[in-house]
Amino acid sequence: MTGIFRVAIIGSGPAGLSAAAHAAALGLAHILLEKTDHLSDTIFKYQKGKHVMATPANLVLRSDIDFEAGKRETILGRWDEQIAARKVNVKLNAEVLKVEGHKGAFRIALRSGEVVDAEAIVLAIGTQGNPNRLRCPGADSPLIQYQLDDPGEYFDEHITVIGSGDAGIENALGLAADPAQRNVVTILNRSADFARAKAANVALLEEAERDGRLIVRRETEPAEVRTRELLLNTRDGQETIRCDRIIARTGSQPPRGFVEAMGVEFSSPEPGSFPKLSPEFETTTPGIHVIGALAGYPLIKHCMNQGYDVIEFLAGNRDLKPADEPLLAEKFAQLPGNRSVAEWLDIFGRNIVVLGDLSVLQLRELMLDSAVHAYQPGEVIFRRNDPGSSMFAIAEGSVAVEVNPNDPSITVGIEQGSIFGEVGLISGRRRGATVRAAEPVVALELPRMAALKLLATSPGAARAVNSIAIERQLLQMFGAGLTRADVAPLVENAELKSVRAGQVVVAEGADDKDIYIIRSGSMIVEKQVGGRPVFLSYLPAGSYFGEMAVIDGSPRTATVKAAIKSEVIRVPGDGFLALLEQNPGLRDKALQQMSARRATNAFIESRKGEFSGAVDLYSQTAQFLVDNGIGEATDVLLIDEKLCIGCDNCERACADSHEGLSRLDREAGRTYAHLHVPTSCRHCEHPHCMADCPPNAIRRGPDGEVFIDETCIGCGNCQRNCPYGVIRMDAKPPKKPSLLQWMLLGKGPGPGEAPYGWRKSEAKKQGLPEAKLAVKCDMCAGIDGGPACVRACPTGAAIRVSPERFLTYTKLAEDTQ
Amino acid sequence: MTAGASRSRFREDETRRDSDHVSFLRHKRFRWAWAALALSLAAAAGYALIDQDPRPNGGSWYGYTLGTIGLGLILWLSLLGVRKRRINPGAWSLKAWTSAHVYLGLSLVVVGTLHTGFQIGWNVHSLAYVLMLLVIATGVYGVVAYTTLPARLSDNRREMTRAQMLDALTAIDRQLDGAAQPLARGEADLVLAALRQSPFAGGALARLTGRYPACQTARALAGMDTASEAQQRVRALLEKRAAQLAQIRGALRIQAALEVWLFLHITLTIALIAALSAHVISVFYYW
């Protein structure tokens, strides 16, 4: 088909396929452009037999092609079949290089040199991006490939792997694994070490190098790809090696640059932000539409529905209600007033200040991810010390914050349109105060992910939340008795500073005069004693430091540095002094806290004289724990190896308390001075695992535990994102015979996690689903008595602690036995 | 979960997060040691003060009382094995149970001995008594092992898991296999024999003592010359292998020492319960 198409759809994932299928059904002149030689590359690249989930379950699928949960092969097969049957105009191997023109006359240039003309464009290219290409002559050579599906299919070849990340190392090891393939494998690394890869992979690579199974060339770059040869730039000059195949694994380029080149604007410069879209998915460039993951919808069903919707809009249907309409109606039904979905959306969008910048589309999406509540006057919205990282926004009414825990009658009001609970969101810590409804309230509760997405996509919302958060943090830090007017000059001059782990904020001996509040993350305080740093204390988010130098004008008495990546608010010291002058009560409180801190420091310093060994041990143990992620933990399992008999009863109890899979590995992990940090969840303040969960299945529970709910789709993102390796992917094991049956009759595998073979064969026998889902510690939520690992330890070796309680001299140096 | 339940869990959690690492022996400031001491003193005081007619004996009313307490304790103490394997439901702490097990078990020495009225003979009653003392003796060894060996286990581990130790051995073996290629037949055979031998070969005695007289790696090391470069390389690798084996064997030995007494302790407990049944039945039969 030639001539000008009504619509060109770029990308053949679920969104693009669905759009193309609907265009075909409506008889629109269309073309589906796919850069690879098969449809739906992202799902195509899933491992063989992977179970693909269909969430959210309550969302109706509106598409001309079918989709239900099942094996990768089944789904891809069905789509291939239906795309062929519906006579969709597909063009494979059609990588788009450039888009020119305007609405009604776009010219799409392909890598092959062809040009496709279309009136409108639907971009459904996802967020994976294109692999980085080699930047040297010969980068177009057919020798180069960017993916390695099966390392076992190459024989007798000289293969060069370029790239020093995990992907490159794993490919190189795979190619060299079987000497019977007789491949000569070389891996190139531009620098001298493999800093970006996992330590375990680097160790395997170095071992393979020692054994001569592959060649590692460090400080080497490709200079030119020739026919069956590769010219290298090495430290000692150029060199040519034989080369039959090149695997390039040098990362990938996010698609944002490609999209922005078409004139499409994004909502903010943040890496996580999405293109600005109209309710019809149209970008700021008329005629170009964005759907699917690139629009911020990573779930397959959403993508397919949008493919259908965008084509309806293009075909002129302006009255189409989005597929989520019934879900929203159901959500709003619990609110008083019998209003329609459109009316509620209008109220929330108009009244709540931080939602001002959102399009209707973004607002709907936000509503789907959030909860709406109605409260009666006096009703508690949340209590002090409740865990919670969600943020609330008041659509109607107002609330009262109990600022003094000892006297609930002292309250501060928050008015309609404003937000509250943002401290929990930003610091990841428990609620600082109880909040009640002051009049009838309709509020929106944005769960952490939805709130973070809002901040990333709406710069206005981010600014508003930031200044409110700084003000509230100041008020909370200095306690009751202060008003917003008191701290206004401080808020105005406050500056937000990001600090990376280990970075020094205040240096001992310096004479700067600022006060810092830890907004997120945590800090450690140390002091040079006898030429060595001594750990003095640990400061969690919400605490402040630097006040001593301000109050008495002395140089800094200790160094404060970030335990983990943190954010601090810097407040100029003179503003703080002025505030103290006006508020004698505050002054007394500050002096009191200062002398308490001085006493702690002096105590540890005095010990250093008499018990130097104990102080060194304390200092080094504290540093070791911080290095192992305790600084960002809220509740972490530690094992005292002076008591641990290695019985693994903790692991068995864990498995028996949770469907038969252990969520901890006692033996693995680091040890210092007999204190062992096993591989087990730290329930981080800002959980890394939550960062990229398509169904938002990872949440913080009522007891502060980070857990994965039943909507997990088994994608494995959380497992990859966890820096501590505490998440495993496994199928739910079959039920075991009871303990009594095992003890008396020897039936089943006994207490603890059943061996893999037993689980596999028994699951097959019982016909259980084999989908691998993410499994992690939930701190034994809902189980009487608390964490089973601790309760099941016969000797008291296993303890679960929080850093602010445990990283103290008494705990680390005096109570050990 | 209701809000109230959640808050009580919060308090519970905060106490737990503030906990010290206290061993089972010092659990709750020796709560069970004091309980056991009180029980023993009370039993002894009763024995001394209550006029037993005609003489202190298991058959007097006081003897029956002590016997019942002892039997109850023994049955309850033996349930630790079940408790350990069944942590839910209920808010149990196995550490508290172990602590109580140790101290109340020790108090049985007093309760049981007073129950005999110091009448020992060649009969099933005394058999039960002797078995009880043996169970307690093995238990005392267990307590000593639990307090002294874990630090050594940890030091020996050097942050490696058992799987990693075996992986390290496999890695050395792969290098040895390659390095041994240029060697002469006799020396190559020595290396091959070392590689073929399972790291676990040697049996229970070797495991417990840590002495492996039939170790092929040691033999290969003894028989390896250092004349050629290849021989030096193999020798160095063999030394690495021996060191890795020593770590694995060290772990096995300490682990075995931590577990071996349980075989006796539990077997003797079963025998004790059998003897006790005979003791109780015969006592009631001849009432």
* Interval B177-206: pLDDT, tens: 888 888 899 999 999 999 999 888 888 889
* SS3 track for A58-97: CCCCCCCCCCCCEEHHHHHHHHHHHHHHCCCCEECCCCEE
Within a domain: A134: no
- Do residues B87 and B93 touch, judged by C-beta distance below 8 A? no
Residue A103's pLDDT band, with cuts at 50, 70 and 90, is very high
Mean pLDDT of A583-589: 83
Tell me, what's the pLDDT at A215? Answer: 92
The torsion angles phi and psi of A536, rounded to 5 degrees, stand at -95, -55
Q: Name residue, tokens 């949008």.
A: A306
- Looking at the fold, whether A666 and A806 belong to one and the same domain comes out as yes
- In this structure, the strands spanning A252-253 and A115-123 are unpaired
The torsion angles phi and psi of A50, rounded to 5 degrees, stand at -65, 140
Q: Which of A643, A646, A668 sits opposite B21 (nearest CB)?
A: A643
Average pLDDT, chain B: 90
10 Å Cβ neighbour count for A231?
Answer: 17
Tell me, what's the pLDDT at A817? Answer: 46
Within a domain: A355: yes
- Looking at the fold, whether A728 and A639 belong to one and the same domain comes out as yes
* Interval A367-414: pLDDT, tens: 988 999 999 999 999 998 888 889 999 999 999 998 888 888 888 889
Q: What's the rounded Cα separation, in Å, for the pair B97 and B83?
A: 8
- Do residues A255 and A130 touch, judged by C-beta distance below 8 A? yes
Mean pLDDT of A772-794: 92
Ranges assigned E (strand) in A453-506? 495-499, 504-506
Tell me, what's the pLDDT at A177? Answer: 84
Residue B7's pLDDT band, with cuts at 50, 70 and 90, is low
Q: Do B6 and A702 touch (CB under 8 A)?
A: yes
Within a domain: A137: no
Residue A783's nearest CA partner among B13, B21, B4, B17 is: B13
Find chain B residues with C-beta within 8 A of A636's C-beta. Answer: none
Mean pLDDT of A616-622: 88
* Range in A76-90, A565-579, B27-41 with the lowest mean pLDDT: A565-579
Compute CA distances A160 → A138, A197, A207, A246, A250, whole Å.
15, 18, 18, 5, 13
The torsion angles phi and psi of A698, rounded to 5 degrees, stand at -100, 125
The torsion angles phi and psi of A416, rounded to 5 degrees, stand at -55, 140
Tell me, what's the pLDDT at A480? Answer: 59
- Looking at the fold, whether A278 and A189 belong to one and the same domain comes out as no
Q: Which of B24, B26, B161 sits opposite A667 (nearest CB)?
A: B161
- Looking at the fold, whether A245 and A310 belong to one and the same domain comes out as no
* Interval A303-312: pLDDT, tens: 999 999 999 9
Higher pLDDT, B44 or A542: B44
Mean pLDDT of A715-736: 89
Taking only residues 156 to 215 of chain A, the set having a beta carbon closer than 8 angstroms to any beta carbon of chain B reads: 207, 210-212
pLDDT > 90: percent of chain A: 44
Tell whether A386 is within 8 A of chain B (Cβ): yes
* Range in A89-103, A175-189, B61-75 with the lowest mean pLDDT: A175-189
Q: What's the rounded Cα separation, in Å, for the pair A362 and A274?
A: 10
* Range in A246-260, A449-463, A617-631, A727-741 with the lowest mean pLDDT: A449-463
CB-defined contacts A:B, below 8 A: 154
Q: Do A788 and B88 touch (CB under 8 A)?
A: yes
Residue B1's pLDDT band, with cuts at 50, 70 and 90, is very low
| Tokens linked to A801 | 């602690």
Tell me, what's the pLDDT at B215? Answer: 92
Per-residue pLDDT at A478 exceeds 80: no
| Closest Cα in chain B, distance from residue A620 (Å) | 17
pLDDT > 70: percent of chain A: 98
Residue B95's nearest CA partner among A589, A739, A796 is: A796
Tally of residues, chain A: 817
Per-residue pLDDT at B2 exceeds 80: no
Q: Which residue of B has its CA nearest to A653?
A: B87
Task: Single out the residue in A285, A314, A343 at which a domain terminates.
Answer: A314
Q: Which residue of B has its CA nearest to A382?
A: B3
Q: What's the rounded Cα separation, in Å, for the pair A588 and A192?
A: 56
Residue range of the domain that includes A113:
4-129+254-314
Find chain A residues with C-beta within 8 A of B97's C-beta. Answer: 794
- Looking at the fold, whether A670 and A753 belong to one and the same domain comes out as yes
Mean pLDDT of A630-635: 91
Q: Do B19 and A801 touch (CB under 8 A)?
A: yes
Mean pLDDT of A244-263: 88
Q: Name residue, tokens 């724990």.
A: A625
- Do residues A307 and A281 touch, judged by C-beta distance below 8 A? no
Q: Do B13 and A676 touch (CB under 8 A)?
A: no
Compute CA distances A656 → A715, A718, A730, A752, A792, whole Å.
25, 23, 15, 6, 11
Measured torsion, CA atoms of residues A725, A731, A735, A741, in degrees rounded to the nearest 10: -60
Q: Which of B1, B21, B98 sits opposite A640 (nearest CB)?
A: B21
- What CATH number has the domain bearing residue A340? 2.60.120.10
Tell whether A737 is within 8 A of chain B (Cβ): no
Q: Where are the domains of chain B?
A: 24-157+272-285, 162-256
Find chain A residues with C-beta within 8 A of B178's C-beta. Answer: 211-212
Please state whether A771 falls in left (phi above 0), alpha (psi between -120 and 50) or beta. Answer: beta
Tell me, what's the pLDDT at B4? Answer: 44
- Looking at the fold, whether A702 and A663 belong to one and the same domain comes out as yes
| Closest Cα in chain A, distance from residue B44 (Å) | 30
- Looking at the fold, whether A469 and A510 belong to one and the same domain comes out as no
Tell whether A795 is within 8 A of chain B (Cβ): yes
- Looking at the fold, whether A695 and A717 belong to one and the same domain comes out as yes
Q: What's the rounded Cα separation, in Å, for the pair A710 and A774?
A: 10
Within a domain: A335: yes
Find chain A residues with C-beta within 8 A of B175's C-beta. Answer: 210-211
Tell me, what's the pLDDT at B270? Answer: 96
**Number of domains within chain A:** 5
Per-residue pLDDT at A476 exceeds 80: no
Q: Do B24 and A795 touch (CB under 8 A)?
A: yes
Find which of A193-207, A382-396, A739-753, B253-267 is predicted with most confidence, using mean pLDDT: B253-267
Tell whether A794 is within 8 A of chain B (Cβ): yes
Strand order in the sheet with A514-520: A495-499, A566-572, A514-520, A544-545
Q: Which residue of A has its CA nearest to B251?
A: A646
- Looking at the fold, whether A521 and A661 belong to one and the same domain comes out as no
Tell me, what's the pLDDT at B287? Answer: 65
Residue A1's pLDDT band, with cuts at 50, 70 and 90, is very low
* Range in A355-364, A712-721, B138-147 with the lowest mean pLDDT: A355-364
Q: Which of A211, A739, A794 sits opposite B94 (nearest CB)?
A: A794
Find chain A residues with C-beta within 8 A of B24's C-beta. Answer: 643, 794-796
| Tokens linked to A48 | 């063989």
* SS3 track for B164-230: HHHHHHHHHHHHHHHHCCCCCHHHHHHHHHHHHCCCCCCHHHHHHHCCCCCCHHHHHHHHCCCCCHH
Find which of A448-462, A532-546, B255-269 is predicted with most confidence, using mean pLDDT: B255-269
| Closest Cα in chain A, distance from residue B251 (Å) | 10
Compute CA distances A685 → A237, A629, A635, A720, whole Å.
49, 11, 9, 18
- Do residues B67 and B128 touch, judged by C-beta distance below 8 A? no
- Looking at the fold, whether A232 and A297 belong to one and the same domain comes out as no
Q: What's the rounded Cα separation, in Å, for the pair A437 and A394?
A: 10
Q: Do A794 and B178 touch (CB under 8 A)?
A: no
Number of H helices, E strands in chain B: 11, 0
10 Å Cβ neighbour count for A601?
Answer: 18
- Do residues A726 and A776 touch, judged by C-beta distance below 8 A? yes
Q: What's the rounded Cα separation, in Å, for the pair A445 and B276?
A: 65
Tell whether A739 is within 8 A of chain B (Cβ): yes
- Do residues A426 and A686 touch, judged by C-beta distance below 8 A? no
CA end-to-end span of chain B? 56
Q: What's the rounded Cα separation, in Å, for the pair A511 and A53?
A: 58
Per-residue pLDDT at A108 exceeds 50: yes
Per-residue pLDDT at B284 exceeds 90: no
Average pLDDT, chain A: 88
* Interval A27-83: pLDDT, tens: 999 999 999 999 999 888 876 777 788 877 778 899 999 998 888 899 999 999 999
CA end-to-end span of chain A? 81
Q: What DSSP element (H or E) covers A795? A: none
Higher pLDDT, A676 or A426: A676
Q: Which of A383, A665, A671 sits opposite B159 (nearest CB)?
A: A671
- Looking at the fold, whether A296 and A400 belong to one and the same domain comes out as no
Ranges assigned E (strand) in chain B? none
Per-residue pLDDT at A269 exceeds 80: no
Tell whether A793 is within 8 A of chain B (Cβ): yes
10 Å Cβ neighbour count for A804?
Answer: 18
Q: Do A796 and B27 touch (CB under 8 A)?
A: yes
For residue A286, is the peptide bond before it cis, meaning its omega torsion is within 30 degrees of 0?
A: no
| Tokens linked to B268 | 């003797």
Q: Do A667 and B93 touch (CB under 8 A)?
A: no
- Looking at the fold, whether A462 and A519 belong to one and the same domain comes out as no
Tally of residues, chain B: 287
